[in-house]
Amino acid sequence: MARMKFLCDADRCIECNACVTACKNEHEVPWGINRRRVVTINDGKPGERSISMACMHCTDAPCAAVCPVSCFYGTVDGLVLHDKDLCIGCGYCFYACPFGAPQYPRVGNFGGRGKMDKCTYCAGGPQQDNTAVEYIQYGANRLAEGKLPLCAEMCSTKALLAGDGDIIAGIYKERVQRRGFGSGAWGWRTAYGETITA
Amino acid sequence: MMRDRSEEKPARRGLLGAAGVAIGLAAAPAAGFRADGGTGGLPPEKENEAAKRAPRYRETDHVRAFYRTNSY
């Protein structure tokens, strides 16, 4: 059975934010909610690295472990999805998640946040596949259409991979074996000289 | 004697009216994503427990093309 995974190659990510834009456009995610974002460390310095982050669909998801209303559920292919009809917006999942994936539509009085929203791996939610009500609550369901998450499909440098974990791990392994990685990658010393390593 | 005009109403007018309604419906904005998590007034169409945990991934030609073009 395939197990869905994201894999971001930090050597290739150029912080273009196309993945963020593609996600927002595909699901019509409003201002204030980012299901995906690009994090950069050592910005503007040698060794700068960027990585595209969203829900990582953990095997033993801490968000699901702390949810007081058990709104999270896992699919057979390894996705962690949630039911907005059950969510009470308590925010526990936000504190539990090491990736900052859960998002909330508002900050209100007495801690009211509204229903949690997060990356669905473009797989919708517990409504019938590709119905209007599923789109309204969870966004597009590309997996049910036989496609992959748009963030990965849009990535111009092919840094962000999505799909069957075994296959994308094989793709990354082959890249490293053929091209190297970091300052050992093909073309690095031509572009950055001999002194800059990462 | 006045003639009943409704009896003379050509059938094509009904067709034009129906076409106008269809165009109006097509031009209406599609329901978009709602940040509040509501259904926008639509009735829920919940999957049962087995269906919501069922695998969604399929290795289609589209997916195989993604793997092929990302492997270099």
Q: Residue A109: pLDDT above 80?
A: no
Interchain pair A148, B43: CB under 8 A: no
Q: What is the pLDDT of residue B12?
A: 61
Domain extent for A17? 4-192
Total-model pTM: 0.82
- Is residue A163 a contact partner of residue B58, using CB atoms and an 8 Å limit? no
Q: Residue A27: pLDDT above 70?
A: yes
Q: What is the mean pLDDT of residues A25-39?
A: 93
Question: Token pair for residue A54?
Answer: 């969203």
Q: Residue A158: pLDDT above 60?
A: yes
Q: Is residue A63 part of a domain?
A: yes
- A126 pLDDT band, cuts 50/70/90, is very high
Interchain pair A114, B39: CB under 8 A: no
Positive/negative CA dihedral, A51, A56, A61, A64: positive
What are the φ and ψ backbone dihedral angles of A98, each rounded to 5 degrees?
-75, -10
Q: What is the pLDDT of residue B17?
A: 61
Could you give the number of structural domains in chain A?
Answer: 1
Q: What is the pLDDT of residue B27?
A: 47
Q: Residue A90: pLDDT above 70?
A: yes
Q: Is residue A107 part of a domain?
A: yes
- Is residue A18 a contact partner of residue A155, using CB atoms and an 8 Å limit? yes
Q: Is residue A28 part of a domain?
A: yes
Q: What is the mean pLDDT of residues B1-29?
A: 56
A181 vs A123: which has the higher pLDDT: A123
Q: What is the mean pLDDT of chain A?
A: 91
Choose among A30, A114, A133: nearest Cβ to B39: A133
Q: Residue B1: pLDDT above 60?
A: no
Choose among B32, B54, B58: nearest Cβ to A146: B58
Question: Which CATH number fits the domain that encloses residue A188?
Answer: 3.30.70.20
Q: What is the pLDDT of residue B29?
A: 45
Q: Is residue A53 part of a domain?
A: yes
Q: What is the pLDDT of residue A182?
A: 75
Chosen for mutation from A167, A172, A177 (greatest number of chain B CBs closer than 10 Å) is A167
Q: Summarize chain B as % helix, strand, coil (round to 5).
A: 50, 0, 50
pLDDT tens-digit profile of A41-65? 999 987 789 999 999 999 999 999 9
Q: Residue B6: pLDDT above 70?
A: no
Q: Which residues of A84-118 are buried (b: 16+ CB within 10 A; e: fewer)?
A: bbebebeebbbeebeeebbbbbeeeeeeebbbbbb
Q: What is the pLDDT of residue B28?
A: 46
Q: Is residue A197 part of a domain?
A: no
A189 vs A152: which has the higher pLDDT: A152
Tell whether ipTM is more than 0.85. yes
Q: Is residue A198 part of a domain?
A: no
